[in-house]
């Protein structure tokens, strides 16, 4: 008589294991029921038949390193047991998330990669509690984020997912500026560097770009030592400003003003020193760093535009350098709400207006100008 | 040397990739103020957060001054182009002219707005209502409580411009008349929540229109409206989906009216504070009809006795969690422990103050 069913098969012996591989290449064996608690792993096993052996181990997302995996599995191992009470689970969770900020962030990332929503919720809520009520400076401390940016960091191209023409133009400015920085670095080693002099003041440029109907007093006023030079230059450039003022009546948004400026620039002449920069611009255009479309190339060949862009970039740099510490300081205090108040006849008057701030201050101002409404 | 380089590289990755991505996940759980603080922490964070559109679907200007200007400024920002919810409750300095400005400058950003809270924005008038409703075609939730400038004219514009309202709060809009109720009844057959607290000009005629035509109503608030009579109250039975009903101050409500209301089987919350004509008969009818009742106030009703408590206990003992019988001098057994005998899950013993 074959008593096949008299053999008692213990549950532990039937436990199956699956194989997981982390980004560092190491492979480990994990109880299947525990690992299946993660939807991502579940999918891999069921839909793609992976994980049954060392050879077809499930490759986990890169952000799941071995130590994070171990934590996630601890969580899964506890919670996948059905009989536990809500109180038990809550108590476990409270103890579980007691870790330093760095690990908490890594754990959030890992849980997200494994699509383990309850753990993502748990860790995110903990992180949210750490952020609530803090100033940007305090948040930087909590997450060990650097405060000062290098020139280069400030000029990294922005991702232009929506193909915003303003961002395209801004990235072009950045590329130009980065090139200039590199050039300066090179020259530093060769000779004593002479400060690049930009004759135009911030105010001039702003009124230039915005069509001259701006009270640009409030924009980008910095307390740097170049103030005196600015006053002198204002007289120099008044004539060109007048020409622009008459052509720009309407207030325009950022994009519009740039396009308008392109037309206006035909009146300007480029200086010989700008020609070499023109070459650089052409190089930049075809470099992989800048993101813009072919349709814009025509703009770049106009030397007058080069000059304008160069000046914008110079000024942009100055603003970044001079205003940054001040602006960041003022953020600790109560920010006065902005900016836009309609006067009697319906037109707008501005002190500092967010959406007409031209490209050159886009980056600098975006941090606080576009948060002033709060 | 390599080690410091590696660490520097790791630091860069930390601050530019890891933290921004993690905080993007966290961002959905943060209130507006903290989200803005995050924007100011670093450009990497700024970029990552701004590009995540799901973080920027709500604008909260509650209790803020200069709200009108702030609103225009915010809606001019690219990241709020898909905003779904704007809350201006108790905000100051918001007037019709700001809404005009919004319509001319930020029309695109208003196209996806689903919820607008103008509670206590007392400077907004019918004209402001006209302007803003004409800019928000898919508005579903509209709340403008405590605004005495809004009249039937404002409502005319609302029903003309916004065809998808499901939640309407006109609490405290004292100048609303039956005409508005007629407009609402004719235009919003799918209305689910309606709050008419203190709209004292309303009469039976208007309310009946609502009860006849807004059959999807789940929540009806008639707090402090003492001029309705059974003529209208009886028709509440038509609201098969009704879950929340507030009849505080309904001094004309009789047992007959209440017995009709008892036909709303899904009632979960019923406020009968100061419904002084009600007796055991009406409450027993409710007990028999509304077996899912969780919240009940009989505050100030002297005509009910322990009998109604017994009846309630027979059918709703498992569900009742809030019961206010303060001032019900007809009920003898009103001590906390006695009430807990009837209703073991009772947590809250006081509703009306």
pLDDT per residue as tens digits for the range B240-262: 999 999 999 999 999 999 999 99
Asked if the Cβ–Cβ distance from A340 to B72 is below 8 Å, we say yes
Asked if the Cβ–Cβ distance from B29 to A355 is below 8 Å, we say no
Residue B339 has pLDDT above 80, yes or no: yes
A344 vs B: CB within 8 A:
no
- SS3 assignment, position A198: coil
Among B234, B342, B341, B250, CA closest to B293: B342
Mean pLDDT, chain A, integer: 64
Asked if the Cβ–Cβ distance from B40 to A105 is below 8 Å, we say no
Cα–Cα dist A190/A277, whole Å: 19
Identify which has the larger pLDDT, A177 or A234.
Answer: A177
pLDDT per residue as tens digits for the range B99-145: 999 999 999 999 999 999 999 999 999 999 999 999 999 999 999 99
Instruction: Give the least confident one: A64-68, A106-110, A301-305, B337-341.
Output: A301-305
pLDDT per residue as tens digits for the range A135-192: 999 999 999 888 755 555 556 666 666 666 666 777 787 788 788 878 877 776 665 4
Cα–Cα dist A126/A103, whole Å: 12
Among the partner residues B19, B37, B46, nearest to A135 by beta-carbon distance: B37
pLDDT per residue as tens digits for the range A24-81: 889 999 999 899 899 999 898 898 888 888 888 898 998 898 999 999 999 999 999 9
Sign of CA dihedral A197, A202, A205, A209: positive
Instruction: Quote the pLDDT of residue A253.
Output: 39
Secondary structure element (H or E) that encloses residue B207, with its range: helix B204-213
Contact list, A345 vs chain B (CB under 8 Å): none
Secondary structure element (H or E) that encloses residue A18, with its range: strand A17-21
| 124-183 of B, contacting A, C-beta below 8 A | none
The predicted model scores a pTM of 0.66
pLDDT per residue as tens digits for the range A80-97: 998 899 999 999 999 999
> ipTM score of the complex?
0.76
Percent over 90 (pLDDT), chain B: 90
Residue A366 has pLDDT above 60, yes or no: no
Among the partner residues B14, B25, B41, nearest to A112 by beta-carbon distance: B25
Asked if the Cβ–Cβ distance from A109 to B31 is below 8 Å, we say no
Contact list, A371 vs chain B (CB under 8 Å): 36, 39-40
pLDDT per residue as tens digits for the range B32-85: 999 999 998 888 899 999 999 999 999 999 999 999 999 999 999 989 999 999
Asked if the Cβ–Cβ distance from B22 to A108 is below 8 Å, we say yes
Asked if the Cβ–Cβ distance from A339 to B73 is below 8 Å, we say yes
Mean pLDDT computed over A304-308: 65
Residue A205 has pLDDT above 60, yes or no: no
A343 vs B: CB within 8 A:
no
Residues 6+ apart with CB under 8 A from A20: A27, A28, A30, A35, A41, A51, A57, A58, A60, A69
Contact list, B71 vs chain A (CB under 8 Å): 373
């Amino acid at each position: 008589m074959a008593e096949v069913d008299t053999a008692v098969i213990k549950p532990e012996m039937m436990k199956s294991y699956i194989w997981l591989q982390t980004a560092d290449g190491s492979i480990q064996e994990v109880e299947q029921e525990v690992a299946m608690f993660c939807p991502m792993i579940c999918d891999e096993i069921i839909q793609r038949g992976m994980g049954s052996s060392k050879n077809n181990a499930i490759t986990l997302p890169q952000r799941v390193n071995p130590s994070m995996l171990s934590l996630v599995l601890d969580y899964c191992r506890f919670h996948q047991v059905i009989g536990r009470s809500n109180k038990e689970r809550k108590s476990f969770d409270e103890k579980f998330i007691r870790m330093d900020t760095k690990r908490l962030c890594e754990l959030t990332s890992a849980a997200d990669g494994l699509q383990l929503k309850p753990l993502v919720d748990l860790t995110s809520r903990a992180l949210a509690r750490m952020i609530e009520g803090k100033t940007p400076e305090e948040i930087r401390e909590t997450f060990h984020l650097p405060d000062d940016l290098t020139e280069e960091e400030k000029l990294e191209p922005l991702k232009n997912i929506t193909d915003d023409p303003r961002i395209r133009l801004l990235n072009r400015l950045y590329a130009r500026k980065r090139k200039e920085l590199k050039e300066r670095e090179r020259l530093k080693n060769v000779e004593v560097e002479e400060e690049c002099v930009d004759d135009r003041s911030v105010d001039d440029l702003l009124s230039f770009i915005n069509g001259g109907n701006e009270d640009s007093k409030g924009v980008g006023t910095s307390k740097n030592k170049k103030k005196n030079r600015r006053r002198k230059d204002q007289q120099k450039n008044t004539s060109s400003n007048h020409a622009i003022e008459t052509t720009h009546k309407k207030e325009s948004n950022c994009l519009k003003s740039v396009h308008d400026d392109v037309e206006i620039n035909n009146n300007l002449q480029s200086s010989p020193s700008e020609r070499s920069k023109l070459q650089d611009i052409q190089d930049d255009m075809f470099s992989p760093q800048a993101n813009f479309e072919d349709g814009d190339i025509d703009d770049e060949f106009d030397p007058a535009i080069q000059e304008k862009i160069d000046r914008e970039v110079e000024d942009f740099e100055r603003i970044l350098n001079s205003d940054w510490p001040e602006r960041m300081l003022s953020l600790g205090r109560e920010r006065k709400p902005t900016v836009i108040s309609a006067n009697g006849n319906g037109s707008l008057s501005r002190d500092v207006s967010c959406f007409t701030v031209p490209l050159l201050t886009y980056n600098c101002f975006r941090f606080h100008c576009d948060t002033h409404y709060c | 040397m390599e080690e410091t380089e590696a660490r520097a590289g790791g630091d860069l990755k930390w601050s530019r990739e890891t933290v921004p991505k993690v905080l993007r996940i966290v961002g959905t759980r943060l209130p507006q103020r903290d989200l803005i603080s995050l924007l100011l922490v670093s450009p990497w964070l700024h970029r990552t957060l701004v590009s995540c559109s799901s973080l920027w679907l709500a604008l909260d200007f509650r209790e803020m001054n200069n709200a009108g200007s702030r609103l225009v400024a915010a809606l001019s920002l690219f990241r709020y182009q898909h905003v779904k919810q704007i809350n201006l409750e108790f905000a100051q300095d918001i007037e019709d002219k700001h809404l005009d400005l919004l319509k001319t400058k930020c029309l695109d950003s208003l196209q996806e707005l689903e919820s607008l809270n103008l509670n206590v924005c007392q400077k907004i008038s019918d004209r402001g209502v006209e302007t803003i409703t004409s800019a928000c075609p898919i508005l579903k939730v509209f709340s403008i409580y405590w605004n005495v400038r809004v009249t039937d004219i404002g409502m005319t514009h609302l029903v003309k411009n916004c065809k998808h309202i499901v939640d309407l709060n006109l609490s405290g809009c004292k100048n609303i008349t039956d005409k508005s109720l007629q407009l609402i009844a004719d235009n919003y057959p799918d209305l689910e929540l309606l709050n008419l607290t203190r709209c004292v000009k309303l009469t039976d005629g208007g309310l009946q229109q609502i009860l006849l035509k807004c059959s999807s109503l789940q929540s009806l608030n008639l707090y402090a409206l003492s001029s309705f009579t059974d003529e209208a109250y009886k028709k509440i039975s038509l609201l098969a989906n009704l879950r929340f009903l507030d009849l505080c101050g309904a001094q004309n409500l009789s047992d007959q009216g209440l017995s009709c209301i008892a036909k709303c089987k899904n009632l979960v919350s019923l406020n009968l504070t100061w419904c002084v004509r009600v007796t055991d008969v009406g409450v027993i009818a409710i007990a028999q009809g509304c077996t899912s009742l969780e919240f009940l106030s009989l505050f100030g009703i002297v005509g009910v006795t322990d009998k109604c408590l017994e009846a309630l206990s027979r059918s709703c003992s498992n569900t009742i969690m809030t019961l206010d019988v303060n001032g019900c001098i007809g009920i003898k057994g009103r001590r906390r422990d006695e009430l807990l005998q009837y209703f073991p899950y009772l947590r809250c013993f006081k509703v009306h103050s």
